Amino acid sequence: MQFRSRFEGPWAEPDSLYSVRSGDWRQMRPVTQETRCCRCGLCYLYCPAGCITDRVTHFEADMTFCKGCGLCAYVCPAAAIGMRDEEQYR
The residue ranges that bind other proteins (CB under 8 A) are 1-7, 9-15, 17-23, 25-26, 34-42, 44-51, 54, 57-59, 62, 64-65, 67-71, 73-75, 77-80
Instruction: Compute the least distance from the CB of residue 88 to other proteins, in Å.
Output: 19
Residue whose CB is less far from other proteins, 50 or 84:
50
Residue whose CB is less far from other proteins, 18 or 88:
18
| Integer Cα distance of 3 and 85 in angstroms | 40
Beta strand 81-85 with 59-61 is unpaired
| Integer Cα distance of 86 and 40 in angstroms | 26
Cβ(71)–Cβ(46) below 8 Å: yes
